[in-house]
């Protein structure tokens, strides 16, 4: 009864703790790599270095053998020319329809090689897209905000307005007349790609996105490569020497344009992904 009376008077029969101390939570210890894993990693790195040295030495030996096998400079027995040179120079216009012998060689006689180079550019852009594409919306928004707030150079913008029409006209002329004059797909595409980069630097990437979006970029580069493959397939199916020269001239022109589209999109793609991580 006295205990109850004391409790009523304000004294609890059981002493209470007035301070709360939370029990510390132990963080899980980080797992260290086992000794066996470290040894396997060290062994792999040593093997990798040894393989790299062996491959480099073998490549060096092959190159040295090839250099030694070359004919001596200015030796009297060296061939000054051969049938390949006469065939290229004498029959290029008749067989390929290209008045520019270089264009006939690159796009017809060595068409497989040029197609391989176009595929290399296509795959290079794909690899850059996989590595540098900013998939994070926050990073993408920050990049666009920085680009919008960056001060524009009035001198560059004014000069670009005067220079860009000339650059575009020159690039189109080089691209469309590469089979009859110096130029072609690679040089014309490079000029057009440089024009796109200049436009983006002078007026911002948002101005380029109005007409050259990611969808247009993918469509242009894929279509260009497919056109090249299909047109060169016509040569293989019909036989290069069996195609009329007038038809061959148009085929060379179409291939030139296709190569130019691939080169143009590759150049602008490299610039865009390296600077902003997106198109």
What's the residue count for the chain? 279
pLDDT confidence of residue 26: 59
**From CA 256, how far away is CA 189, in angstroms rounded?**
9
- Specify the residue for token string 């900013």: 134
How many CA atoms lie less than 13 Å away from 216 in the CB half-sphere?
A: 9
- 204 Rama class: left (phi>0) / alpha (psi -120 to 50) / beta: left
**From CA 74, how far away is CA 80, in angstroms rounded?**
10
Which ranges of 70-110 does DSSP label H, i.e. alpha helix? 83-96, 101-104
pLDDT confidence of residue 141: 72
Listed residue (192, 196, 180) closest to 261, CA to CA:
192
Q: Is 110 helix (H, G, I), strand (E, B) or coil?
A: coil
Instruction: Give the residue ranges of the chain where pLDDT is below 50.
Output: 1-7
262 and 115 in contact (C-beta within 8 Å)?
no
pLDDT confidence of residue 246: 67
pLDDT confidence of residue 57: 96
**From CA 254, how far away is CA 132, in angstroms rounded?**
32
How many CA atoms lie less than 13 Å away from 135 in the CB half-sphere?
A: 3
Q: Is 259 helix (H, G, I), strand (E, B) or coil?
A: helix
192 and 260 in contact (C-beta within 8 Å)?
yes
**From CA 55, how far away is CA 5, in angstroms rounded?**
95
Q: Provide, rounded to the nearest whole percent, the portion of the chain with pLDDT above 70.
A: 78
């Amino acid at each position: 009864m006295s205990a109850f009376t004391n409790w009523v008077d304000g004294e609890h029969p059981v002493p209470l703790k007035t301070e709360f101390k939370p029990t510390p939570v132990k963080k899980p210890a980080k797992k260290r790599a086992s000794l066996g894993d470290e040894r396997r990693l060290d062994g792999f790195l040593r093997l990798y270095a040894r393989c790299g040295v062996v491959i480099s030495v073998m490549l060096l030996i092959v190159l040295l053998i090839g250099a030694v096998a070359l004919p001596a400079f200015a030796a009297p027995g060296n061939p000054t020319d051969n049938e390949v040179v006469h065939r290229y120079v004498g029959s290029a216009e008749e067989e390929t329809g290209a008045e520019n012998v270089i264009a006939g060689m690159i796009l017809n006689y060595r068409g497989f090689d040029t197609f391989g180079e176009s595929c290399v550019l296509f795959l290079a852009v794909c690899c850059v897209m996989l590595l540098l594409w900013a998939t994070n919306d926050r990073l993408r928004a920050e990049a666009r905000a920085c680009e919008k707030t960056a001060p524009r150079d009035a001198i560059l913008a004014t000069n670009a307005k005067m220079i860009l029409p000339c650059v575009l006209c020159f690039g189109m002329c080089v691209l469309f007349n590469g089979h009859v004059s110096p130029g072609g797909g690679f040089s014309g595409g490079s000029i057009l790609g440089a024009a796109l980069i200049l436009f983006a630097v002078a007026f911002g990437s948002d101005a380029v996105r109005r007409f050259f979006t990611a969808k247009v970029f993918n469509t242009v580069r894929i279509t260009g490569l497919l056109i090249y493959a299909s047109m060169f397939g016509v040569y293989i199916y019909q036989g290069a020497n069996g195609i009329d020269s007038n038809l061959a001239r148009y085929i060379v022109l179409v291939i030139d344009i296709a190569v130019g589209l691939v080169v143009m999109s590759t150049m602008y793609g490299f610039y865009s992904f390296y600077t902003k991580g997106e198109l």
